[in-house]
Structure 1
């Protein structure tokens, strides 16, 4: 923030010099700058829609980054990349000086949080039904939620350091607004945003330990609902507009499906070594297993669904009976035989989380599972102290979330000197 302020100051100073020079030349005064916008000419309705769409796209870009990094962190995929900063996520010892942590993970989600706030701070017409406000509130909610689940602490728009619980409460607040305004808007878009916000609020409440609230929200999600983040194949802007997981599977070869996920299950398709895979960016012991869930730059990433709501409700129930019912329904739907393992509460919950792992592979949800119930993901996440899958690195560390990057602490006036 301080750097931005200094840049603005220099810009204003330069502008003053230009105007001083302009007084000496009538011809120069005739030149117009097409990049200068007169605030009095801005239509708040149009501007609100544009800014809300931009906030949504900022979140879409961040989701790709966060899904990839949390995939490395929770052993959904192995790091077939040479960057030491990315391998730190793979063996779960992430320094606050890690450059990738700051530029690839923190900066995109912080931008998504802040850009949604820009819309919500506007005075827009019909605030109880305005679709731009529903969109901005919903995606501010999801942005804060992912900050809460992936980072150990967070900060919103250069504000003070916030705990996970505070971030989850903030996400729930904005999801509530997304639900209310989306419903009142009553268009198909509004109802879709309302359902997405309900799933987001249920997820936040589950992470917060409010099982009753999570179950109540999950029950309100419409049957068959699914909300996808859409991407496009734009050669000139693939980093912002295209599917990051495809890009890093096929252009860079940086993510290799981890061993536990190499099952004969349609939810996690992959290409084995020698079956037409691209070359990995770094050698991978055991070979490069290329994900095939996202098959193009324009592949969607699922954000929220009734299916996720069903998993939330089953987990929140704390009861073996509904959990087994969902487990067996999903196993049957995906060509698996009925669950035949132990039926004590811990064993059934582990199987529920195993099905979640397959269901939501590389959708950015596994790190929340890891933090919420580490014992339930122990079969799929590399244990602390275990050797890293690549030689030449230390053992897997004890991190369960990401630290705030040092640049945030150094430049945030509410954290300076910490």
Structure 2
């Protein structure tokens, strides 16, 4: 078992939203091994487990975001009948959508609150404490995901946050993660600091702070990659397994969109209907082209890398840097040289095409679309018919609403 797998298994034991008191009245009573006795937890001694749980809570959210965003930005088509999930493919997600609340909003909220809970503990050696570094990194990344996807955010039951406020909150937490992780100086600490540097570059770029984005991206060392580990545990697949494979194999929800059925680029891996025996949950969705980037429950999910940092630096630097990086990525993936227009807008569109291939199904394209909506191709077109019958035409959403469960029950949310 790898170090990251041990962290995942340890983190799977605790979810801050589900701590319960349990007792045993007689010898016939069997305790639930998935329920933690809250009175038995020592916040200081158990801080590493609590921080690992926060990391795993984020990993759960990441899997959901990668899938739901893929429908919204046209990486995949919704191959199932659930109206709530087809709303994403139609770019018209309602605030009453039950899947939106349970699969998207709740996981990112739990990730954010559990990381915040660790940071609120009084732990020894705070400037070098690895639990602080881990919690700050994944609190910051939770804010990044929320800012890129939701029109308005909320943190720990507080009032509404604008996109700018969410990004500023991300920067604050990620800056802390860089400082503490670097000072910790262990391999884990340095790794978390580099995750945070990629997140910082991403947040600054989304906020329009190009100089800060470039500085953070350049600080990421060559060859850096951080993967969220997954485990093929039949009893814990929804929490520990690869979400994209789960909803390919078990649910039949994800079919590769036509624009990504690219046969000559190793970055887009899929199987045609003739190459597998799976079926879509909704036969009306047409031939089932399954993603093959994540072919097993234990396939890891890349979260942060020097490659992403280099993309951020090139975008923030300008057209010449973008052209150079386009050439680099095309050559690395056996693609012919770019022969298109040299105009800045056209170069940026091609730049995002290469980025979209490199990070297919990695929950990055929605942020790119919100930042540069005219340069990200292959999205569902507003006003066009949906790709299968029985549904309204495609809408024009660019971000997701808060679920009504949040706005109705949050006392700090303004009432109209």
TM-score w.r.t. length of structure 1: 0.90
- The equivalent of 1:308 in structure 2 is 308
1:36 positional shift: 4.7
* SS of match in other structure, 1:304: strand
- The equivalent of 2:5 in structure 1 is none
- The equivalent of 1:381 in structure 2 is 379
- The equivalent of 2:401 in structure 1 is 403
Distance 1:80 1:140 in 2: 32
Q: 1:116 to 1:385 in 2, by over 3 A?
A: same
Contact 2:78–2:285 under 8 Å retained in 1: no
1:269 positional shift: 0.4
- The equivalent of 2:255 in structure 1 is 256
1:197-255 CA distances to partner (integer Å, 9 max, x unpaired)? 00001000000011111011101100000011011011011111111000001111100
1:62 positional shift: 0.6
1:316 positional shift: 0.3
Distance 2:137 2:71 in 1: 27
Distance 2:285 2:249 in 1: 19
- The equivalent of 1:325 in structure 2 is 324
- The equivalent of 2:3 in structure 1 is none
C-alpha RMSD of matched pairs (Å): 2.2
Distance 1:81 1:337 in 2: 36
1:285 positional shift: 4.6
1:129-161 CA distances to partner (integer Å, 9 max, x unpaired)? 000000000000001110111110010010000
- The equivalent of 1:174 in structure 2 is 173
Is 1:95 the counterpart of 2:97 in the alignment? no
- The equivalent of 1:133 in structure 2 is 132
- The equivalent of 2:265 in structure 1 is 265
Is 1:188 the counterpart of 2:191 in the alignment? no
Is 1:225 the counterpart of 2:230 in the alignment? no
1:174 positional shift: 0.2
- The equivalent of 1:211 in structure 2 is 210
- The equivalent of 1:365 in structure 2 is 364
1:156-210 CA distances to partner (integer Å, 9 max, x unpaired)? 0100000011000000100000000000001111101000100001000000011
Distance 1:221 1:114 in 2: 27
Distance 2:329 2:124 in 1: 45
1:381 positional shift: 1.0
When structure 1 is superposed on structure 2, of 270-279 and 231-240 the one drifting more is 270-279
**Segments of 4+ in structure 1 off by > 6 A?**
none
Distance 1:174 1:84 in 2: 36
Distance 1:335 1:248 in 2: 30
1:380 positional shift: 1.6
Q: 1:416 to 1:295 in 2, by over 3 A?
A: same
1:286 positional shift: 4.4
1:350-361 alignment to 2 at 5 Å?
350-361=349-360
Distance 2:325 2:277 in 1: 34
1:273 positional shift: 1.4
- The equivalent of 1:287 in structure 2 is 287
* SS of match in other structure, 2:62: helix
* SS of match in other structure, 2:345: helix
- The equivalent of 1:24 in structure 2 is none
Contact 2:44–2:121 under 8 Å retained in 1: no
Distance 2:45 2:284 in 1: 50
1:54 positional shift: 0.2
Contact 1:410–1:416 under 8 Å retained in 2: no
Q: 1:36 to 1:328 in 2, by over 3 A?
A: closer
- The equivalent of 1:71 in structure 2 is 70
Contact 2:140–2:173 under 8 Å retained in 1: yes
Alignment gaps of 5+ in structure 1: 1-6, 19-26
* SS of match in other structure, 2:274: coil
Distance 1:312 1:277 in 2: 39
- The equivalent of 2:13 in structure 1 is none
Distance 1:107 1:75 in 2: 23
When structure 1 is superposed on structure 2, of 390-399 and 401-410 the one drifting more is 390-399
Contact 1:277–1:290 under 8 Å retained in 2: no
Distance 1:354 1:218 in 2: 20
Alignment gaps of 5+ in structure 2: 1-17
Distance 1:44 1:90 in 2: 43
- The equivalent of 1:56 in structure 2 is 55
* SS of match in other structure, 2:309: helix
- The equivalent of 1:415 in structure 2 is 413
1:46 positional shift: 2.8
1:44 positional shift: 3.9
